[in-house]
Amino acid sequence: SRIAGLTAAVLLVLVGGQRLGIPLTTLLASAGVGGFAVALAAQDTLKSLFGTITLMADKPFRVGDRIIVAAYDGVVEDIGLRSTRLRLLTGHQATVSNDELARVDIENVGRRPHIRRAADIRIPLNTDVELVREAADIVREALEDHEGLDEAYPPRVAFSEFNDDSFNIRFFYWYHPPDYWKFLDFSERLNLEICRKFAERGIHFSLPLRIAQTSL
């Protein structure tokens, strides 16, 4: 609408000049000379304007979307002719030139269809192999028909690695719809359930391997 307003203003000047008896060629010549002078004086502004046109054509985000761009992570509040305003997760407001936005990669978090979690559970190397198998089964049971399940993305659990100091059980699940706070609540309940069942079966979590060093 802003670009349409500018276009209408230019047309109004041209038509109004003709009505006043000024030849169209004179108006266009004057506009050309004036436009050249303005272009030299406002190169950065014109870059931002072309960046705005690029954003309007590609539509990588809209007002209300949460995006991650450069060092910023926030919600789009306004898309102007020259710049875009973001409300960062810290509460601060950031203004980013549309020219810069048109040249960098933009991650649109607001358009994700789900939230994916990938996590590892480490078990000491002296754990009996049957308990390792049970540990993986406990995680599978906890994730069976879980809250936020999308049938197209079933949870995955596997005894995946032999680490230097532990056995590694890796699991994935996808939470739908992508409500971050509900996802956190579910993740907390899942973690507590795994801890409780591990304790019942006498399965321990591996502690980080620490090596004491002394200077000689």
In this prediction, residues 110-123 reach a mean pLDDT of 95
pTM, full prediction:
0.69
In this prediction, residues 123-141 reach a mean pLDDT of 96
What pLDDT sits at residue 26?
58
DSSP labels for the chain?
-HHHHHHHHHHHHHHHHHHTT--HHHHHHHHHHHHHHHHHHTHHHHHHHHHHHHHHHH----TT-EEEETTEEEEEEEE-SSEEEEEETTS-EEEEEHHHHHHS-EEEGGG-S-EEEEEEEEEETTS-HHHHHHHHHHHHHHHTT-TT--TTS--EEEEEEE-SSEEEEEEEEEESS--HHHHHHHHHHHHHHHHHHHHHHT--PPPPP-------
Q: How do residues 17-76 score in pLDDT, each as one tens digit?
A: 555 555 656 555 555 545 544 554 455 666 767 777 888 888 899 999 999 998 899 999
Q: Is pLDDT at 107 greater than 50 in this prediction?
A: yes
What pLDDT sits at residue 152?
94
Q: How do residues 172-203 score in pLDDT, each as one tens digit?
A: 999 999 999 999 999 999 999 999 999 999 99
What pLDDT sits at residue 45?
64
- Please tell me which residue, 77 or 10, carries the higher pLDDT value: 77
Q: Is pLDDT at 171 greater than 90 in this prediction?
A: yes
